[in-house]
Chains A and B, each alone.
Chain A
Amino acid sequence: MEQNARREFFIRLAQGTALAATGGLIWSALLQQQAKAMPNALRPPGALDEDDFQALCIKCGLCVRDCPYDTLRLSTAGDSVPIGTPYFLPREIPCYMCPDIPCKVACPTGALTPELTDINGARMGLAVIDIENCLSWQGLRCEICHRECPLTDTAITVEHNPRKISKHALFVPIVHSDACTGCGICEKACPTDEAAIRVVAHELVQGKIGDHYRLGWKVDTTITPDFKPYEKSGPLPVAPDASGGLDYLNEGVP
């Protein structure tokens, strides 16, 4: 009798474990798939790294409600963005960079970090230019993105590339990742049929050189800020004491 009860208990235990394990596997697969739904979703200003953002966002939509330009939208089931989280599509409505950052103020959890106080410090994404379709890169004087950029001449500069004789110079827009906020006003303004300048999540376009590369011709290189050529090499080698050496060629071996 007791044997049976024990046996029954272990079978129930195994059944419960199996059910929990199967359910847990399916469930976590669903979560993983959801979380990676659209890695390039553009988040509101002040959003933490995507992983932390996804964990902290409680999906309340308060940021969406407080966005005065209706830039932010809340993803629904079936969208490619993780469910219930805020994002924006700059070609439709970009972020107009409110100085008081109402979306961040509205966030109750800190998924949009309260540490962001200057909207120009936001890093929602990075504008990238398709030079094959950019009018300026074809030789036209477009430069609309440069003029529309809220940080014009800082985040987007225009540089002129002289070309061969008989062709006029190119005036091309260049985006600088250290200043670009990813607001997407350039993308909205781009006059081509499909935007030739687009805001993309940093991790999708930005490379990383690697700490072991030292650009020797750039002592103040910003790529490896920890690199200080003279600090690491220690004291310069000291010349050997002249009197200590052997001049056996002239003086012969003693």
Chain B
Amino acid sequence: MKTGRGAIRMASNGRPVRPFIMPSTLSGRLGVWRYLILRRITQLTILLLFFGTAHWGWSVAGRPLLSGNLSSSRLLDLVPMADPFAVLQIFLTRHMLQPEVLIGAGIVLVFYALVGGRVWCAWVCPVNMVTDLAGWLRTRLGIRDMFHVNRDIRYSVLALTLVLSFLTGVAAFEWVSPISMFHRELIFGAGLGWTAVLGVFLFDLLVVKHGWCGHLCPLGAFYALVGRFAPVRVGFDAPTCTHCGECARVCPEPQVLNLRQAAEAGMIRSGECTNCGRCIPVCPEGTLQFDLRHRIGAADQSHESKPHQRRLA
């Protein structure tokens, strides 16, 4: 796709196709890495809050700050939060749950339905740090996929999780989840859970690129469905796009960057987008920006030249 240095290729919108160039200054680089840094801060802060509450007794006004873990927790002993996918599995084992955990799951579900389901994946899940490292390393080492895996297989894993929960009478994913294992052991002390995480790391590094988060994880699939209509989206300003492809190169879920669909919708519509923000700083044209769904809709209606209307006409 890239042409030789010096040769300027023109995009269909009449603009020159410019490559993304990593700034040489530190402040410039920090700017490019801003979402990455923010994500790491969020992930580590959440881990630290859990850890500090469990081990150092962190509390505010006598109330434990954040107790429990990502499966089920309590903020200030007041706000319950629970993993809605775990609750769904338990529900399918035909057991009635107490109201606290149902309310907790509801709160979490509403939160992710608003900010984007897979915000969980990119901004909270501790395994994301491991798989990101594997992804970065495999690019560095130039490792190719051992074989192709369909990305939709995660929805089959999701369905299988629910069926098995129903049939075996235990929450199927919760019992094998490397996410919960990793997180629990980070907070409550180490066991052999790190071997599961190592497995995920090696799978991502050597077998399939973005293999776990992007192909298999049923929790990610669940949140992709939850976030399908989330208001917070990556907006796509179609007229400025030169199809340079820089965004797809850094995106862990490049199938969501279907640019024709994005041009029609004015945003990255797929729930599989993790709202990680990787694509935003590398876009040389500023085409991609975080935005709100309803604002994009309003802007679309104010323009006469709504792309897909034009096509229909």
Contacts and interface: CB of A to CB of B under 8 A. Distances in A.
Contacts of B156: 16, 19-20
Contacts of A107: 98
A62 B72 contact: yes
A56 interface: yes
Given A56-B90, A76-B191, A109-B90, 7 more contacts: A23-B157, A35-B170, A55-B171, A65-B53, A65-B64, A65-B68, A84-B184
Given A55-B90, A110-B98, A61 B196 contact: no
A107 B167 CA distance: 25
Interface stretch (A26-34, A92-100, A120-128): A26-34
Given A31-B176, A76-B184, A84-B174, A59 B54 contact: no
Contacts of B64: 65
19 contacts: A16-B156, A27-B172, A28-B164, A34-B176, A35-B170, A51-B169, A54-B170, A55-B95, A55-B171, A56-B97, A58-B83, A59-B180, A61-B188, A74-B188, A78-B191, A83-B181, A84-B184, A109-B97, A110-B96
A79 B187 CA distance: 17
A24 B171 contact: no
B172 A108 contact: no
Given A56-B97, A58-B71, A108 B82 contact: yes
Nearest to B55: A65
A103 B193 CA distance: 25
B72 A27 contact: no
Nearest to A64: B188
Contacts of A83: 175, 181, 193
Contacts of B67: 62, 65
A60 B68 contact: yes
A59 B184 contact: yes
Given A59-B71, A60-B69, A108 B80 contact: yes
Nearest to B161: A27
A102 interface: no
Contacts of A62: 67-68, 72-74
Given A76-B191, A76-B192, A78-B192, A58 B175 contact: no
B244 to A, nearest CB: 35
Given A76-B185, A79-B191, A109-B90, A61 B160 contact: no
Contacts of B181: 76-77, 83-84
Best-surrounded residue of A16, A58, A75, A78 (most CB of chain B within 10 A): A58
For the complex of A and B, 10 pairs with smallest distance between CB atoms: A76-B191, A78-B192, A60-B72, A110-B98, A77-B192, A55-B93, A108-B101, A77-B193, A60-B68, A108-B100
Contacts, number: 138
A189 B65 CA distance: 36
A52 interface: yes
Interface residues of B, number: 51
B190 interface: yes
Contacts of B192: 76-78
Contacts of A61: 54, 68-69, 184, 187-188
A191 B71 CA distance: 41
Interface string A30-44: 111011000000000
B126 to A, nearest CB: 15
A60 B174 contact: no
Contacts of B180: 59, 84
A231 B187 CA distance: 60
A82 B175 contact: yes
Contact of A109 (B74, B98, B157): B98
A77 B184 CA distance: 10
Given A20-B160, A82-B175, A58 B170 contact: no
Contacts of A76: 181, 184-185, 188-193
B69 A114 contact: no
B285 to A, nearest CB: 40
Contacts of A65: 53-54, 64, 67-68
Interface string B190-230: 11110110000000000000000000000000000000000
Best-surrounded residue of A59, A74, A78 (most CB of chain B within 10 A): A59
A27 B169 contact: no
Contacts of A16: 156
Given A109-B72, A114-B98, A27 B176 contact: yes
B109 to A, nearest CB: 15
